[in-house]
Chain A
Amino acid sequence: MAPQPRDQRFVRVSVAGLVTVISLALTALGEDSPGKVSFSRDIQPLLARRCFVCHGPSDQKAGLALHTRTAATANADSGNRAIVPGQSAASHLLLRVLSTDKELRMPLEAPALSKQEIAILRKWIDEGAVYSRHWAFVAPKRPATPTKGDPGLSPIDHFITDRLQRAGLQPAPEAERHTLIRRLSIDLLGLLPSRKQIDRFLEDRSEDAYGKLVDELLTSDHFGERWGRHWLDLARYADSFGYERDDVRPNAWRYRDWVINSINSNQPYDRFIIEQLAGDLLPAATIDQRIATGLHRMNIKNNESGINREDYRNRETVDRVNTTATSVLGITLGCVQCHSHKYDPITLKEFYQVYSFFNNVEEHDIDIKGTPADQARHQQARATFDAHSKRLKSRKATLATMKKHRDLSHWQASLKNDLKAVAGKLQPLDVAKPLRESLARPAADLSAGQREIVSSFWKTLSARSDDTDKAIAQLSVQKRHLPRPYIMTLREKPKNRQATHLLLRGDFKQKGEQVAASTPAVFPALKPRQKNADRLDLARWMVRRDNPLAARVAVNHFWKHLFGAPIVSTVDDFGSQGQPPTHPRLLDWLAVELMDSGWDRKHVVKTILMSATYRQSSRQSPRLLTIDPDNRLLARQSRFRVEAEIVRDLFLDAGGLIHHQVGGPTIHPQAPAATRDLAYKYKTRWIVSNRPQRYRRGMYIHFKRTNPYPSLVMFDGPESNICQATRTRSNTPLQALVTLNDPVFFECAQALGRDLALAKGHRKTRIRRVGERTISRPFTRQETRVLESLFVAEHNWYREHASEAIRMIGEYPAPDTDHGTTAAWIAVARAILNLDEFVTRE
């Protein structure tokens, strides 16, 4: 069956409504000059989609391959040539796609090519059948900037407006200033701008007011949090191991903090990559560089007993390869694990050559001294563990002696009928209260019911001791995961190194030929320092100037974070099955700018922020909604709901509760009982962090893979099991329930409501001004009226329902204010925080 590019069924549903959109989008996307056939735009995707399954890199039926010019123009098994350059009439490819004989017509057993597709194939062959390489596999060069247009604009704007003009569109005007500051603050820090910042920016009429604001935000430590979290999605960061046992990783956060610090200190992006992939191999590697290798300790790991270790070691290695490829190179190797790539020139063997770089790594935890706080945490956890362990052992002893006796009276007798001693023995037995009480009474005094309970317990004694033995067996695991300060790193195995074999169909038991570490031939050659290439060679090669992918992939991510959508929409697939860039020259310009600046992330981010394109208004218009519903051409800025962690951050910020501590161990905010109930084994109790720790940002919430924090999941936070290049953005009723009713979010409304009750001025003024605190603009008169009527209605109701008012206010009463008033203000605050605009970046 021919692979289908996407679920065709849904395309069928409303094709009619789509035709205009698609044709527009397609003309909008290509930038090559119209008229001439482009191999990479027109031919390669067509061949890949319709022909490569049988005549491509992985399979050459009838001795024919179409993915290289040499193969395509050579004689196939039949002795015919599929392509004779310049002569479409002599090219058997064309004869076969045109054939009316079912046995001959290509593609076999699949729909025929369209007339248009055949016409374009013919034209391409007649023009000489030129195979240019896939655009993303050729290193970017700085393209010339289109010269027409306002010379004051950034090159970025020239690329954008050039394209817009050809589609007959104009860029949108600059957004209003309060929108700009809110947009910048959310994009760069994930926080709300303070009233002071807003006032200062609105009042500053100097020409560089905007630039000054950008600089100020870029130096904030919260920039590293915000942009670090983007990277952590790719790094599949989590605080537990995953799979059945899902044990805690008490020190994973040290890698997370390394990411934050690296971004804050503006470590060059190439160093950022090299240290994570091969920090351990750098000369005189520092502790920080070793922490960086924690990237490849973040993978899921199966600690279940009874697993085949080699099976899971193989899975981990594959995951490391895939994560590296997706995050840095934006290519998908997932399918090459089992067979050569059907569409891209990457073979099964080459996959295992890359695999080989990671085949002899070893997980290496290094103890560090840590801060006094680290040590105190460890000691406390150790004490808890010791107590637990002691309790278990005395339970075991008690159960063992109980088992030796036929029933309760015998056992009590063996304790000399000393009821105190009996009770003492029972103490560690975590049985239900009625049972414990019965066991602690003289056997003769038991009622019939109690006797029943006790005797059924006695029957299950061995079961009880089995459970205890199990719990004791788990102690060593728990001990291993005590938060003693250590760092999780990766290093090369010093001994027992093994040769890498190709694995047939990805099966770890089916070894094929032996392979040596290397990189796919389609890319510039690896230049190893010594005969045997190692991870450091690989890492340096990835961010070498002539590597076609790393810089493009990086700026594509930057762009996505600043416009809500990337230039190459398939951020994780720059291969031939991916989408072409909407603005190829812009992408290359940015990539070269990144490399030329010494891989300066902040410089490129700032360059984008300074463009008129970034500063546009995000307002929709009916015309744009028809022509470019996905905003691919950027005739306006995008408007989108913020990410999971940021929804909570904005709430905490608006409520004035947020605690700004950057980095450090994870936190446990209030969580529903479900978060504890669903945990499987090794129940790590969710002990709610004290204030103000519990008000730290969402990215610090303890992330347990099999049981992630509910509100993060509901807002499409990553599952963190595999490298995730894009988050979806759903819009569901459960999200409404979270922001309306989750105690964590409601507390923010309570805090904001109390502040409103305590604020000065007429209530109209208070409402208008709280707009600045939440949506970074004053509410309009009309909006104020709506909120004021809500206030009045709620005030009337709560005045009549004092006890309800008190319950609603909870821990946030306003001094010298009646409860009805405070409750009404909380209702107003809750409404404001639930506005679409509040959780939206405009």
Chain B
Amino acid sequence: MPHQHPLPTANQRATRRDFLASSASGLGGAALASLLQQDLPAASSGSLAPRATHFAPTAKRCIFFFMAGGPSHVDLFDPKPILNRRDGKRLPDSLLKSAEFAFIKKDKAVLKGSPARFHQRGECGIEYSDMIGRIGDCADDIALIRTVHGEQFNHHPGQLLLSCGKAAMGRPTIGSWLVYGLGSESNNLPGYVVLTAGRGASGGSTNWSSGFLPSTYQGVPFRDRGDPVLYLSNPDGIGSGNQRRTLNAIRQLNDLRHRQIRDPEIISRIAQYELAFRMQTAAPELTDLSTETRQTLDAYGVGRVSPRPTASMQIGDTYHRFSTNCLLARRLVERGVRFVNIVHASWDQHSRLKHDLAWNCEMADRPIAALLKDLKQRGLLDETLVVWASEFGRTPLGQGNDGRDHHPYAFSVWMAGGGVKGGTVYGKTDELGWAPAENPVHVNDFQATLLHLFGLDHETLSINHRGLNVRLTNLGGKVVEDILARPRHAVASS
């Protein structure tokens, strides 16, 4: 069988055979109708039918906060009081020797104290920065990993490593792997949705690309204004009734053609047009927030005005948009969407760290905390994995007056819900927050853990592409057992 179409071919074949059974005497109207209700997967394209996992999953959906730019771990998640005590002092040569920086000059490098204050949060008493105090208040639901590390110290390669498991182009992103591996549970929305607020991430669409997989598995950017999905609205002057009549005519003609040619792709096309029509209703319903209570809107901060003008002066409604995205994320997972990627890209504090980091945190803290509480209160958090991740952290060294440089050698990522053990902190960095001292977690390990929560074995979920067995975890990956609520053997035997 061909392997440059690394698709679930077996499934497709079965589908084609089903077609045969139902279309042996021509596809009657009734048969067609019943086929359409099932949302037939495309015959020669990526199937979206729900699929079995390798073992019992604890997470079914994921909301992934992609904090691009590199939020400073030493100012948010990993308190290092020594930095304040040794503010302005040089770093030991032993550490400097092997380090690479984007901008810092080694001979001038000095440590930089943190403007942040840290306090113990929750029952677990794990320390979080006051800048994200509300998220910190959810500490008992969060598993915080302080020793994530990679080897890419530039933005786009680092983003590719985080999204695709390797700093290379052309590979599927995490959401694509999940939708490929698990299918979609939504009848009228895409399985993989992307929400952005503010400036886009530097990697652009490569952060939600399906790589060599069919476009069925790529992330679909939703907008919080105008059409939620590109080209969702009918052209001017065409109402829903016109659209329905036109689609009926298209369907009848396609059906006539199918009787002649008997190509199952035609049935697939009919199904996709019907799904598009349903999406036209479902997506606006999704973004219509009028059914949310005032209390909910306020909790998320929808309608907030961004404080004080900033560097991104023209994007004055970033706070409101980020809040809206968080609320939309809940509405999306409620409707069965598998993977919601919320991208925010202004965490690259080479300068003005104190001000800009505080500004970003004020934007992110309230709605993310509100989301966690909201999911929990609705009973959704158990099966929804919420992730905060970035391509790297920032140097304990200062850059310029008030900045930090890129730092992939140790940084923090957290997960909540979806079967992770809340109130956990995993991994310990050295006294400066420079490198892991205990329990390092490579980005590929984090990815293996994420897949594991979804009942997928990261080594089995592989696709032969150009002679390479491509995996999300590339050549590595080790599940971080200690942050799982259910130990691995219990899962495997269930």
Per the bound structure, the CA–CA distance linking A736 and B276 in Å amounts to: 6
B327 → chain A, closest Cβ, in Å? 20
Complex alpha-carbon distance, A243 and B169, angstroms: 10
Partner of B469 from the list A3, A13, A430, A738 (CB cut-off 8 Å) is A3
- Looking at chain A's contact residues, the main secondary structure is loop
Judge if A510 is at the interface, Cβ distance under 8 Å.
Answer: no
- Residues of chain B contacted by A834 (CB below 8 angstroms): 246, 250, 273
Q: Nearest 8 pairs between A and B by C-beta?
A: A306-B102, A808-B237, A706-B204, A569-B2, A721-B169, A807-B237, A730-B214, A730-B45
Q: Is A842 an interface residue (CB 8 A)?
A: yes
Is the Cβ of A719 less than 8 Å from the Cβ of B239? no
Check: B281 CB closer than 8 A to any chain A CB. Answer: no
Q: Which residues of A contact B336 (CB under 8 A)?
A: none
- Of the residues B100, B232, B238, contact of A808 by C-beta under 8 Å: B238
Which among A728, A729, A782 has the highest number of chain B CB atoms within 10 Å?
Answer: A728
Q: Among A242, A343, A716, A733, which residue has its beta carbon within 8 angstroms of that of B272? A: A733
Q: Give the docked Cα–Cα distance between A742 and B276 (Å).
A: 13
Instruction: Name the residue in B6, B45, B46, B406 with the highest tally of chain A Cβ atoms < 10 Å from its Cβ.
Output: B45
Contact string against B for A residues 535-574, beta-carbon threshold 8 Å, 1 for contact and 0 otherwise: 0000000000000000000000000000001000111110
Chain A nearest Cβ from B230, distance in angstroms:
6
B154 & A18 in contact (Cβ 8 Å cutoff): no
Binds A, one of B114-122, B307-315, B419-427: B307-315
Please encode chain B, from 12 to 43, with 1 for each CB lying within 8 Å of some chain A CB and 0 for all others: 01101101100110000000000000000011
> Whole-angstrom distance from the CB of A830 to the nearest CB of chain B?
6
Q: Does A447 contact B (CB under 8 A)?
A: no
Q: Judge if A460 is at the interface, Cβ distance under 8 Å.
A: yes
Q: Are B156 and A13 in contact (CB under 8 A)?
A: no
* B interface list, Cβ under 8 A from A: 1-6, 8-11, 13-14, 16-17, 19-20, 23-24, 42-46, 51-52, 54, 100-103, 154-157, 168-170, 190, 196, 199-206, 209, 211-216, 218, 220-221, 223, 226, 229-239, 241-243, 245-246, 249-250, 252-254, 256-257, 260-266, 268-270, 272-273, 275-276, 279-280, 308-311, 313-314, 316, 345, 351-352, 355, 406, 459-464, 466-469
For chain A, which range describes its interface: under 10, 10 to 19, 20 to 34, or 35 or more residues? 35 or more
Name the A residues within 8 Å of B308 (CB-CB). 456, 459-460
Q: Which residues of B contact A743 (CB under 8 A)?
A: 235
Q: Which residues from chain B contact A619 at a C-beta distance below 8 Å?
A: 260-262
CB distance from B455 to the nearest CB of A (A): 11
A522 at the interface (CB under 8 A from B): no
Contact partner, A706, options B24, B205, B275, B355, Cβ 8 Å: B205
A398 proximal to B (CB < 8 A): no
Bound Cα distance A714, B231 (Å): 12
Q: Given the complex, which residues of B lie within 8 Å of A302, measured CB to CB?
A: 154, 156-157
Residues of B within 8 A of A430 (CB): 314
B residues within 8 A CB of A728?
A: 5, 45-46, 212-215
In the bound assembly, the distance between CA atoms of A804 and B236 in angstroms comes to 8
- Please tell me if A530 contacts chain B, counting CB pairs below 8 Å: no
Q: How far is the CA of A12 from the CA of B11 in the complex (A)?
A: 10
Given the known A-B contacts A335-B467, A431-B313, A622-B20, are A18 and B235 also in contact in the complex, defined by CB atoms under 8 Å?
Answer: no
How many Å lie between the Cα of A457 and that of B221 in the bound state?
34
In the bound complex, CA of A810 to CA of B239 (Å): 15
With A786-B249, A790-B246 given, name 17 new contacts (CB 8 A). Answer: A7-B8, A21-B13, A432-B309, A432-B313, A565-B2, A570-B3, A622-B23, A625-B264, A630-B1, A719-B209, A722-B168, A731-B45, A733-B190, A807-B236, A836-B265, A836-B270, A840-B265
Interface pair A572/B250, CB less than 8 Å apart:
no
Partner of B265, one of A3, A639, A679: A639
Instruction: Give 29 A-B contacts (CB < 8 Å), ordered by A residue.
Output: A6-B464, A7-B6, A7-B464, A8-B460, A10-B11, A14-B11, A304-B156, A332-B467, A456-B308, A575-B467, A577-B464, A620-B264, A625-B16, A672-B231, A678-B204, A706-B202, A719-B206, A722-B168, A730-B216, A731-B43, A731-B269, A732-B272, A733-B273, A737-B230, A741-B232, A804-B238, A808-B236, A831-B249, A836-B257
Contact A721 B170 (CB under 8 A): yes
Cβ proximity bits A715-751 to B, threshold 8 Å, 1 near / 0 not: 1100101101110111111111110111100100000
Q: Is the CB of A10 within 8 A of B8?
A: yes
CB distance A569 to B10 under 8 Å? no
- With a cutoff of 8 Å between Cβ atoms, the chain A residues found around residue B209 in the complex are 719
Residues of B within 8 A of A783 (CB): 253, 256
Looking at the assembled complex, report how far the CB atom of B383 sits from the nearest CB atom of chain A, in whole angstroms.
22
Q: Are A790 and B215 in contact (CB under 8 A)?
A: no
Is A794 a contact partner of B14 (Cβ separation < 8 A)?
A: no
Q: Does the CB pair A457–B309 fall under 8 Å?
A: yes
Closest to A571 in B: B4
Proximity bits, A641-681, B CB within 8 Å = 1, else 0:
10000000000000000000000000000001110011111
> CA A774 – CA B107 in complex, angstroms?
69
Question: Residue on A with the closest CB to B212?
Answer: A728
> Given the interface contacts A729-B214, A737-B230, does A334 sit within 8 Å of B468 by beta carbon?
yes
Chain B residues contacting A4 (CB-CB under 8 Å) are 460, 462, 464, 469
Q: By the criterion CB–CB under 8 Å, are A466 and B352 in contact? A: yes
Query: Which residue of the partner chain B has the closest CB to A750?
Result: B235
Q: Are B234 and A741 in contact (CB under 8 A)?
A: yes
Cα–Cα, bound, A640→B268 (Å): 12
> How far, in whole Å, are A245 and B202 apart by their CA atoms in the complex?
7
Please give the distance in Å from B293's CB to the nearest CB on chain A.
30
A579 at the interface (CB under 8 A from B): yes
Chain A residue, CB-CB nearest to B457: A9
How far, in Å, is B5 (CB) from chain A's closest CB? 7
A707 within 8 A of partner (CB): yes
Tell whether, in the assembled complex, residue B44 and residue A569 are in contact, meaning their CB atoms are under 8 Å apart. no
